[in-house]
Structure 1
Amino acid sequence: MSEAPAFILRASQIEDAAGLHEMHSQPRFCWGTLRPRYPSIDAVRKWLADQSPDDLHIVAEAEGRVIGDAGLHRGKGRRAHAAVIGMGVHDDFAGRGVGTALLAALVDTADDWLDLKRLELTVWTDNAPALALYRKFGFVEEGVLRAYAYRDGAYVDALAMARLRGV
């Protein structure tokens, strides 16, 4: 496996819509997420524009190209100590350290800047690379969500995973 080109992590911006649209249209990216196939560029622009200022949304960029994105979506009220994580990597850059860098940035922000105690996510039970990544960062399985979503003509299970800190 070759290394990813040098990339930077930065906050997303509305001008990233075209790059995110291209990445979100990739077959493996769609397979690993709940995003619909064939998103419209307008839907991606709206999704970017509707990001909450309380949330963190970052992209990995290499040579002017968006190659990954990740979000930390903070809870409100009595769930203010928690956040949900979502992320994905462009098909051409999977397995080359982009996901690790994105998740490290989210975990660092959650721990050292926001003092979040609980990070949670869902992941398909058959997504071995994602499971390995999340476990590397201390996420553990909390339960199986049976027939969680429809993918490739069948209902698939997901794991609810979380990482707790200081509780």
Structure 2
Amino acid sequence: MHKSTNGLEIRRSHVGDAAAMAQLMSHPEVLPGLLQMPYGSEEHWKQRLTDNLAPARSQDLQLVALLDGRVVGSAGLMLANPSPRRRHVMHMGIAVLPEAQGRGVGGALMSALLDYADHWAHVLRVELGVFVDNERAIRLYQRHGFEIEGRQRAYALVNGRYMDSYCMARLHPQPPQWPGPLDSASA
């Protein structure tokens, strides 16, 4: 758990967050920026948060941001693919309530996830998708080292129209290196 001076707390999500997650992901100003479907239920989120505890998902990390004890944001890192050839890659998703935007919530969630990816989870590449009209999110991602790598045309249906999406990624800025073979004299 991380607590800041402005009342912002970042912690791992748990099953008790299901109702707050359903509200966050269904918020009419948040939903269009996600790939979630409308009318998400608390039961769905209970199951999803329970599934996050499975041993097969042990590398994944789902965080929530709380302001004054209320969930106002969520972000997660999920293994992009179980193939040994892609285990160095994680996919990121983030959502922040409109009233909490501009208050450092997104930046705090991003920083926490990237610290986990860089220093604990052996991740070389973090990927995400963002709709091309979400300029605020694109700027946030770029501030954290993400670059636009491509554009996917008609990527998803959003409010009855097809929307393009950018593929963005960030490579570990200083990938861990082994210092080299031990000197036999010092061993």
TM-score bin (small chain): over 0.9
Instruction: Give CA-to-partner distance per residue, 1:107-157, whole Å, 9 cap, x none.
Output: 111111123110000000000000000000110111101100000110000
- The residue number in structure 1 matching 2:137 is 130
2: CA distance between counterparts of 1:7 and 1:160? 29
| TM-score, normalised by the number of residues in structure 2 | 0.83
| TM-score, normalised by the number of residues in structure 1 | 0.92
Deviation for aligned residue 1:43: 1.2
The answer to whether structure 1 residue 69 and structure 2 residue 70 are counterparts is no
1: CA distance between counterparts of 2:28 and 2:102? 15
Alignment of 1:72-83 (within 5 A): 72-75=77-80, 76=82, 77-83=84-90
RMSD between aligned residues: 1.6
The answer to whether structure 1 residue 94 and structure 2 residue 101 are counterparts is yes
Specify the SS of the correspondent of 2:30. helix
2: CA distance between counterparts of 1:23 and 1:5? 21
Alignment of 1:5-154 (within 5 A): 6-51=7-52, 52-75=57-80, 76=82, 77-154=84-161
Based on CA coordinates, which of the two structures has the bigger radius of gyration?
2
Q: Which deviates further from its counterpart, 156-165 or 32-41?
A: 32-41
Partner AA of 1:66 in structure 2: V
* Runs of 4 or more consecutive aligned structure 1 residues displaced over 2 Å after TM superposition: none
Contact 1:19 1:66 in 2 (8 A): yes
Tell me how many residue pairs correspond in the alignment: 164
Contact 1:27 1:91 in 2 (8 A): no
Unaligned runs of 5+ in 1: none
Q: Which deviates further from its counterpart, 143-152 or 61-70?
A: 61-70
2: CA distance between counterparts of 1:161 and 1:37? 25
2: CA distance between counterparts of 1:63 and 1:96? 13
Unaligned runs of 5+ in 2: 176-187
